[in-house]
Amino acid sequence: MNSEILLNKIHKAIKKKNYLVAKNLLEKALETNKKSYELFYNLGMVYKNLKNYEEAIINFNKSIKLNPNFSAPFTTLGIIYSELSNQELALEHYMLALKIDPKNFIANYNLGNLYLKMGDLDNAEKYFNFSININPNNINPYNNLFQLYDRSNNIKKLEIILKKTKNIFGSNTWTNFFEGMVQYRKKNYQGSINLFEKLEIEKNDISKNVLKANILAKNYDHIGSYEKAYKYYATSNNILEQAYLKSTNKEIYLSLIKKRLDFFSNNNLKISKEIINKNQKKQPVFLVGFPRSGTTLLDTILRTHKSIKVLEEKPLVDKIINLINEYTNNDLSSLQNLNNDKISQIQKMYFQERDKYIKVTDREIFIDKLPLNIIYVGEILKIFPDAKFIFALRHPYDSVLSCFMQPFVPNDAMSNFLNLKDTAVFYDLTMKLWITYLKNFNLNFHLIKYENIVNKFDQSLKELLVFLNLDWSNNLKKFYISAENKRFINTPSYNQVNRPIYRDSINRWKNYEKKFSELNKVLDPWVEYFKY
C-alpha cells in the first residue's frame, strides 16, 4: 500500500471515529516511516480521542522533535494539559503554538478558555477577540464573550458583542436568544418575554430550552405574574429532569446525608487537636449552608476585605473525602483510626489543591466557600480540628423556593431541586445533619442570616468579622462596585451581586404560598427552630 492510500485510509478512519483502526494503520505506517512528524501527530490525536493522554503526549512530543515549527501538536498539548488541570503547562504550550503561528485560531480560542478558567478576564477577552479577528464566522468565541460579559455583569460590553454578532450572523435563533437575555439583564422584562415566547429552539438543544423557560419564568416573576412564572420554572426543571434522567440519581446524594446522619447520631467521633496543622498554614474557614442562602452575596462582600481570600465553589473538600474513603475503605466507623501521618497527608493535599486556584499569605484568612460542604462537617473536623465554620442561613421557605427556581447543572445533588417537595425533603435532612454535628462537636461556628445582612448590614458583618478576628473595613459597604468583584461568577446569583443590597428576595415565597400547602409539616419546624 503506498503512503498516499494509507494516509487516506487513516484520515477516513479518524473522521468516522474508528480510532482503533486508525491507530493500527498509523503504527503500520510508522514502521516504514519513523521520521514523519505528521504520522506521530495523527497518532497523538488518536490517543487523545481514546483518552490515553500519556501516549498522546509522547507522540505529540515526537512530532515536535521532528518538526519544532509545526504548531498543531503544541496546541493540542495545551488542550490536554488544560483538561488535566495543569494550567502552567497548558499556558506554556499555547504560547509556543502562537509563537510559531500567531493566527492559529484553535490556540487563540482555547487560550481564551484557559484564561477564563483561571479567572483572568482581561486576557480571556483579549484572546477571544483575537480568534474572532482570525475567523469572524466561527460563533464559539462570540458565545464565550457573551457568557464572559454576562457572568461578570458587564452589560455595556454584553450589548456590544450582541450587536457585533447580529452584524455577522444576522437575526437567527442564536442571536434572538441572546437578545432576549440582554433585554432581561436590562430589566426590560416585557421585551424579553415578547422575544422568548415566539422563539422556537430545536428540542435537542437542552441548555437553550432550559434557559429560555427559566428566563421567561424570571421575567414573569418580576412583573408579578406568579402563576406563569411557576409554570415556566416547572417547565425548565422538567426539561432538565428528562434530559438527565439516566445520568443522575437524587437518592445517591440523599444516601450520603442519611449515612452521616445515622453514623454521627450514634457515634461520638473523637477529634484530636494534637495535629492542628503540620503544614505551616492557617486552618481554613468553611462557608457552608443550604444552597441559595446568600452565600454568594456573603462571599462577594467578604472578598472586599484586604485580609480575606475566598475560593468560590471548588471541589477541595470532595478531594478530602475521596482520600479519606481511600484510607478508610469508605467506612465512617474507620474515621476514628486515621492517624496523624494520614491526616497530615490529607492536609498537605488540600493546600496543594488550593494553591492551584489561589495564593494565600500567612496574614490572610482563607475561606473555602461551597454550601453543601455542610454535609461533610464531621470529616472536615477530623482533618482540620481547629477549623471555623460560617453557617449561612435564610428563611427555609425562601431557600427551598430559590433552589427550585434555579437551573442548576444536573448532578446527583442538584437533581433534588427539580420540584418543591424533593427540595424540602433535602433541606430537612441537611438541617437534621447540621443539628447532629452541633450536638456531637464543640463546633466553632458563626450563624449569619441573609435577612440580617440585608436589613442590618453593619451589625451582622461586624459580628462576623469579630468571629474571624478581623477589624471592620468600609470597603465592605462598596462590595458591588469593587474591582475585586468584577469577576466571572459561577453561581446562579452572578447577576445579583453587582448592585447595592436589595430586599426583593426576602419573603419571596409568599408569592408562591399555595405551592407549599403540602410542605408545611416539613418546613415549619425549621422556621420555628431558626426563629423566623
Residues 413/253, Cβ–Cβ less than 8 Å? yes
Q: Who's near 442: CB < 8 A, 6+ residues apart?
A: none
Q: How many residues does the chain have?
A: 532
Q: Who's near 517: CB < 8 A, 6+ residues apart?
A: none
Pairing of strands 365-369, 285-289: parallel
The partner residues of 308 in beta bridges, in order of sequence, read: 365
Residues 476/461, Cβ–Cβ less than 8 Å? yes
How far, in Å, CA of 471 to CA of 510, rounded?
38
* Element (DSSP H or E) covering residue 151: helix 140-151
- Phi then psi dihedrals of residue 446, to 5 deg: -130, 125
How far, in Å, CA of 532 to CA of 516, rounded?
17
What is the reported pLDDT for 438? 95
Amino acid, res. 24: N
Residues 105/135, Cβ–Cβ less than 8 Å? yes
Q: Who's near 184: CB < 8 A, 6+ residues apart?
A: 192, 215, 218, 219
Q: Please count the other Cβ atoms lying within 10 Å of the Cβ belonging to residue 233.
A: 26
Residues 311/302, Cβ–Cβ less than 8 Å? no
Tens digits of pLDDT across the chain (532 residues)? 566 777 788 888 888 888 898 888 888 888 888 888 988 998 999 899 999 999 999 999 999 999 999 999 999 999 999 999 899 999 999 999 999 999 999 999 999 999 998 888 899 999 999 999 999 999 999 999 998 988 777 888 989 999 999 999 988 888 999 899 999 999 999 999 999 999 999 999 998 999 999 999 999 999 999 999 999 999 999 999 999 988 999 999 999 999 999 999 988 777 766 555 555 578 899 999 999 999 989 998 999 999 999 998 899 999 999 999 999 999 999 998 898 899 999 999 999 999 988 889 989 999 999 999 999 999 999 999 989 999 999 999 999 999 999 998 889 999 999 999 999 999 999 999 999 999 999 899 999 999 999 999 999 999 999 999 999 998 898 887 754 455 555 554 444 545 556 677 899 999 999 999 999 999 999 999 999 9
| CA distance readout (Å), 20 to 24, 25, 79, 250, 455 | 6, 9, 22, 36, 63
3-state secondary structure of 370: coil
Lookup: cell for 483: 474591582
List, as one string, the DSSP characters of 42-93: HHHHHHHHTT-HHHHHHHHHHHHHH-TT--HHHHHHHHHHHHTT-HHHHHHH
What is the reported pLDDT for 483? 43
CA torsion sign for 203, 204, 205, 211 is positive
How far, in Å, CA of 184 to CA of 216, rounded?
9
20-59: burial string, b at 16+ Cβ within 10 Å, e else = ebbbebbeebbeeeeebbbbbbbbbbbbbeeebbeebbeb
How far, in Å, CA of 201 to CA of 195, rounded?
12
Amino acid, res. 309: K
Global confidence as pTM: 0.82
| The CATH number of domain 286-529, selected from 3.40.50.1980, 3.40.50.300, 3.30.429.10, 3.40.50.720 | 3.40.50.300
